[in-house]
Amino acid sequence: MLSRFFILLLGIILLFPPIVSFVIGKPVTLWGQPVHLTGEILYFFFGIFLIYISLFKWTLTVKRKYICPVCKEVSEQAESNEIKCSMCSEPMEELNGFYERHPEKKD
Ligand SMILES: [Zn+2]
């Protein structure tokens, strides 16, 4: 979650030079160098892109639901080979299709 926040923050920071230069009507100076129009357009679109992935794409691509076969604790985790249950340390399985694979566990 922390890295997602930093991506969002970076996106917002990247939006500043183009917005400021649009408001004041001349190129902004960044680290002693004036930012050219091409650079500002790149900052703008890259900033929008970073904000977009941090807000909308992140959870879809990175998180999945897992279930513990022992205590049936469900948790949302980043995709990984080995996910342990936080309650009983058993290896967890992906929730999607779990009851099809283990019909005996249905209650
Ligand atoms: Zn468990």
Tell me: the pLDDT tens digits for 20-66? 888 888 777 777 777 788 888 999 999 999 999 888 776 555 678 99
Say what the pLDDT of residue 105 is: 86
Cα separation values, 79 from 10, 28, 34, 64, Å: 24, 41, 42, 6
Do 9 and 45 fall within a single domain? yes
Instruction: Give Cα 48 distance to the centre of its chain.
Output: 14
Domain boundary among 36, 55, 74: 55
Ligand 1 centroid from CA 34, angstroms: 57
Ligand 1 centroid from CA 5, angstroms: 29
Do 6 and 30 fall within a single domain? yes
Do 45 and 75 fall within a single domain? no
Tell me the pTM: 0.49
Domain boundary among 55, 75, 92: 55
Do 33 and 75 fall within a single domain? no
Determine the structural domain holding residue 11 and report its residue range: 2-55
Do 10 and 31 fall within a single domain? yes
Report the domain count for the chain. Answer: 2
Ligand 1 centroid from CA 82, angstroms: 14
Say what the pLDDT of residue 60 is: 56
Do 51 and 25 fall within a single domain? yes
Do 20 and 38 fall within a single domain? yes
Do 40 and 20 fall within a single domain? yes
* Calpha distance 78→62 (Å, rounded): 5
Do 33 and 68 fall within a single domain? no
Ligand 1 centroid from CA 86, angstroms: 7
Do 9 and 48 fall within a single domain? yes
